[in-house]
Amino acid sequence: MTEPRSPVEPQRKTITHRITIGLLWAVLTPLLILPIVAIFVFAGRGGWDSFYQTLKLPEAQFALRMSLWIALCTSLANAIVGTFSAYVLSKHRFAGRGPLSILVNLPVAIPTVVMGTSLILLWGPIGLLGRYLVPLGFAPVFAPFGVFLAHVLVTFPYMLGAVKPVLDELEITYEEAAYTMGAGRFRTFVYVILPALKGGLFSGTLLTFAHSLGEFGATAMVSGNLRLKTQTAPLFIFAQFEAGQIETANAVAAVLAVLSFSIFLFLLRFTRRPSREGP
């Protein structure tokens, strides 16, 4: 075996050790590794050409483009709204702050399908607000804007979770130091707070992007799964699969997997870097 030597106990290659490692592989291979392999195997079954042809389908192209756009907009929107919320929740004391801090994290706890339903019940034609707004021409449900709203809602806690701890750690004296030196609130935010938030903001944005790219439950509810109108990549994959077009589904799935994986690798590299820089 060409096993790398463990830094702790290099000599221990006992039988129990080998069994433990073997067991780990035995468990993880069918659970994690083979499913990913399967996607690429099926996607590439018809050869490179058919894979390429599949991706050239207008529906597939639309779905991928839609997913990327939505993910991009969601990330940007959450970067702004999430940072603002984190700042207010972290630096201001106000009535209802405690309950609100819990509430903003709810979207992670509640199933995304339920979140999607809640959006329909709010903005839909019979919804709380929708019944007044839809006749006026504002109908976000079953439209790209609704998908965007759903994604912002579902991914909001990830942004907050990445940014708020940094702000909590950042003592108020940093801002106050800037104030005494003549910087107003805006310049203090730009020059003092934002640079300190850079790391949290970046990983928060990437997390949001990745989650948005793969979002299914809420999207399925809110979008209505309309081809060439609101269908995102995950919905497209599901629809193709149901229709028996397994190879088409797998081609898009492979692209999605590669995209997500790249983001993940990038994130991993980025979050590791500060620890090497020292304090």
Rounded-to-integer distance, Cα 88 and Cα 127, Å: 30
Q: Is 99 in the site for other proteins (CB under 8 A)?
A: no
Contact in structure between 141 and 123 (CB atoms under 8 Å) = yes
CB of 196 to other proteins, least distance (A): 6
Report the residue from 58, 182, 244, 269 that binds other proteins according to the rule CB under 8 A: 182
Rounded-to-integer distance, Cα 275 and Cα 278, Å: 6
Q: Is 265 in the site for other proteins (CB under 8 A)?
A: no
Query: By CB under 8 A, how many residues form the interface with other proteins?
Result: 20
Q: Which is nearer to other proteins, 58 or 278 (CB)?
A: 278
Cα 189 versus chain centre, distance: 26
Contact flags string 73-92 toward other proteins, x per CB under 8 A:
--------------------
Here the tokens at position 203 are 């990983």
Q: Is residue 261 within a helix (H) or strand (E), and if so which, with residue range?
A: helix 246-277
Cα 183 versus chain centre, distance: 35
Subset of residues 215 to 254 that bind other proteins, contact rule: CB under 8 A: none
Q: Which is nearer to other proteins, 73 or 196 (CB)?
A: 196
Of 156, 174, 160, 150, the C-alpha closest to 225 is: 150
Q: Is 167 in the site for other proteins (CB under 8 A)?
A: no
Rounded-to-integer distance, Cα 106 and Cα 124, Å: 21
Alpha helices in 6-57 (DSSP H): 15-28, 34-43, 47-56
Q: Is 173 in the site for other proteins (CB under 8 A)?
A: yes
Q: Is 95 in the site for other proteins (CB under 8 A)?
A: no
Report the residue from 69, 179, 216, 266 that binds other proteins according to the rule CB under 8 A: 179
Q: Is 30 in the site for other proteins (CB under 8 A)?
A: no
Coil vs helix vs strand at 129:
coil
Q: Is the dihedral of CA 26, 28, 31, 35 positive or negative?
A: negative
Q: Is 11 in the site for other proteins (CB under 8 A)?
A: no
CA angle in degrees (0–180, nearest 5) for 146-148-152: 115
Subset of residues 191 to 210 that bind other proteins, contact rule: CB under 8 A: 191-192, 195-196, 198
Q: Is 153 in the site for other proteins (CB under 8 A)?
A: no
Q: Is 171 in the site for other proteins (CB under 8 A)?
A: yes
Rounded-to-integer distance, Cα 64 and Cα 61, Å: 5
Rounded-to-integer distance, Cα 226 and Cα 232, Å: 9
Q: Is 187 in the site for other proteins (CB under 8 A)?
A: yes
Listed ranges 115-123, 128-136, 177-185, 261-269: which one lies at the site for other proteins (CB under 8 A):
177-185
Listed ranges 45-53, 74-82, 157-165, 168-176: which one lies at the site for other proteins (CB under 8 A):
168-176
Q: Is 279 in the site for other proteins (CB under 8 A)?
A: yes
Contact in structure between 214 and 73 (CB atoms under 8 Å) = no
Q: Which is nearer to other proteins, 17 or 198 (CB)?
A: 198
Report the residue from 176, 243, 261, 265 that binds other proteins according to the rule CB under 8 A: 176
Report the 10 Å Cβ neighbour count for 56.
Answer: 10
Interface with other proteins (CB under 8 A): 171, 173-174, 176-184, 187, 191-192, 195-196, 198, 278-279
